[in-house]
A and B are shown apart, each in its own frame.
Chain A
Amino acid sequence: MFKQKHYMALGAVTLATLLLLSLPPHAASRLKLAVGSWFLPLFGLAGTVQQLPITAADAVLPRRELLRQFEILRRDNEQLRVQASQAAATARENDQLRALLGWQRQSPWNLKLANVVMRDPANWWHTVQIDLGSRDGVRENLPVLTIDGLVGRVSSVSYTHAQVVLISDPNCKVSAVVESPAHDMGIISPGGPLDNSFVELSYLSGNASLKAGQNVITSGLGGVFPKGIPIGQIVDARPVEFGLYTEARVKLLVNLGSLEQVWVLFP
């Protein structure tokens, strides 16, 4: 009886694991979302607890400090409004010129702010979860960025949350271009498991002329990331595969280790 019980447990767990691992991707994704939704009450609780010290700090902030901050923000707001009107005029001019040339009109970026609520507990993946889901219109493969640059893309979506695979993860491949006269193009791939502030720019041509400090932006190829999102700056480059390709180390503009708020880019 004793032996039967533990052999039955061994068989049941092995069978359950094999069944789980052989689930089709769609069913596996749905199962993960269902199990992940068990944590929703804790997310709400954690959010409230995190807000408590902020609310307490707000309550004791002196009026003089608030007025000072208000004045700074008012000036910034006026400056940004002037810049926005200039940008709108430039965009109108750009649209007119594109229409004259018969080019497709560029649609403006539609952004939605999201809070980072969780990080991947496994050390071998670089993903985060945000508090926007399908109820907010988020769907798979939408680009995610901050004001500094590209963060990653949405990999799976539940009703209230979405998982974002970061640019330093092996599952996030980005076609990138170096801002140089040659416009060298390559693929962004992860740097290493410890330091997520560097990534590799691979598959550059063997005769690519790269210099430290050159900007790297998204190329727009692949259909996921629009062209022109800043990624980082070239640190150094080296030939690989006997000079067939060049590989460059890129310092990311975004600090992926301290993400708190991100923008989801809607087409």
Chain B
Amino acid sequence: MFDVPRSMNLLQTILILAVAFLAVFGEATLGGLRQWLSAQVDLLPALMVYAALNADVVTVSLLAVFGGLWFDALSANPPGVSVLPLFAVGFVIWLQRELILRELPFAQLVLGAIASAIAPVLSVLVLLTIGQQPLLGWGSIWQWLVMTAGGAVATPVIFVLFDWCHDALGYQPRTETSFRPDREIRRDKKI
């Protein structure tokens, strides 16, 4: 993992949280996919995959807490239901991040699919544990598949989006020159 300045880490954390905020708002207001497929895609697990592979554990925790709270505030979930599932997904990926080929779009796609499949299942388990009765049935399997596929497709897109933001807003790498002082040819008039 290359070292990045502290200000860059902060900018990345703010950017991730801002995207999470907009993603939750978009999920609540944009109903095109919901009307067409009878299911809404959740982008937070896909965003969590990016955060877990590219940011520190504090960012992963902040995304889980704030992303989960924002999601629960706009839904009928009791507050806090989505926090632990998001964090569980992000924390496991963060622990294994050195073993994951994060640059490969296929790896990102698979991780996005796994995260988007596990997070809603854990959320429903938390809901059932605290005595809530969410609307479940055979149709929920279709919704789960849509969420998994949607999250899988969204993950590489999020990586591309953040790479573009990183290039646009981050520090550019210094270009190396071929000049080396120890190899400088010193010319002298005396022979």
Residues on A facing B (Cβ under 8 Å): 5-6, 9-10, 12-14, 16-17, 19-21, 23, 28, 31-33, 35-36, 38-39, 42, 46, 117-127, 129, 155, 163, 165, 168-171, 190, 192-195, 257-258
The one of B31, B76, B142 that contacts A127, using a Cβ cutoff of 8 Å? B76
The distance from the CB of B174 to the nearest CB of chain A, in whole angstroms, is 28
Cα(A36)–Cα(B28), bound, Å: 12
- The interface centre, meaning the residue of B79, B80, B136, B138 with most chain A CB atoms within 10 A of its CB, is B79
Add 20 more A-B contacts to A16-B65, A39-B74, A120-B75 (CB < 8 A): A17-B83, A19-B80, A20-B80, A20-B83, A28-B79, A38-B21, A121-B27, A121-B40, A121-B74, A121-B75, A122-B40, A123-B140, A123-B143, A125-B135, A170-B135, A192-B139, A193-B136, A193-B140, A194-B142, A195-B38
List 11 A–B pairs whose Cβ atoms lie within 8 Å, in order of A's numbering: A5-B57, A6-B94, A9-B60, A17-B80, A21-B79, A119-B28, A124-B134, A125-B76, A192-B139, A193-B135, A193-B140
| Chain B residues within 8 Å of A32, by CB | 72-73, 79
**CB <8 Å contact, B57 and A6:** yes
Residue of B nearest to A39 (CB): B25
Residue of A nearest to B80 (CB): A20
Interface size class of B (residues with CB under 8 A): 35 or more
The distance from the CB of B112 to the nearest CB of chain A, in whole angstroms, is 18
Say yes or no: is B107 at the interface (Cβ < 8 Å to chain A).
no
| Chain B residues within 8 Å of A125, by CB | 75-77, 134-135
The distance from the CB of B56 to the nearest CB of chain A, in whole angstroms, is 8
List 8 tightest A-B contacts by C-beta distance, closest first: A20-B80, A194-B139, A124-B134, A35-B73, A125-B76, A121-B27, A36-B73, A122-B75
List which B23-56 residues lie within 8 A (CB) of chain A: 24-25, 27-29, 31, 34-35, 38-40, 42
Residue of A nearest to B31 (CB): A119
Say yes or no: is B169 at the interface (Cβ < 8 Å to chain A).
no
Cα(A6)–Cα(B123), bound, Å: 22
| Chain A residues within 8 Å of B126, by CB | 21
Cα(A202)–Cα(B72), bound, Å: 30
Cα(A16)–Cα(B61), bound, Å: 11
The one of B31, B38, B76 that contacts A169, using a Cβ cutoff of 8 Å? B76
Say yes or no: is B133 at the interface (Cβ < 8 Å to chain A).
yes
Cα(A127)–Cα(B28), bound, Å: 10
List which B125-184 residues lie within 8 A (CB) of chain A: 126-127, 130, 133-140, 142-143, 147
Cα(A171)–Cα(B38), bound, Å: 20
Say yes or no: is B114 at the interface (Cβ < 8 Å to chain A).
no
- The interface centre, meaning the residue of A36, A123, A124, A194 with most chain B CB atoms within 10 A of its CB, is A123
The distance from the CB of A155 to the nearest CB of chain B, in whole angstroms, is 7
**CB <8 Å contact, A118 and B29:** yes
List which B6-22 residues lie within 8 A (CB) of chain A: 21-22
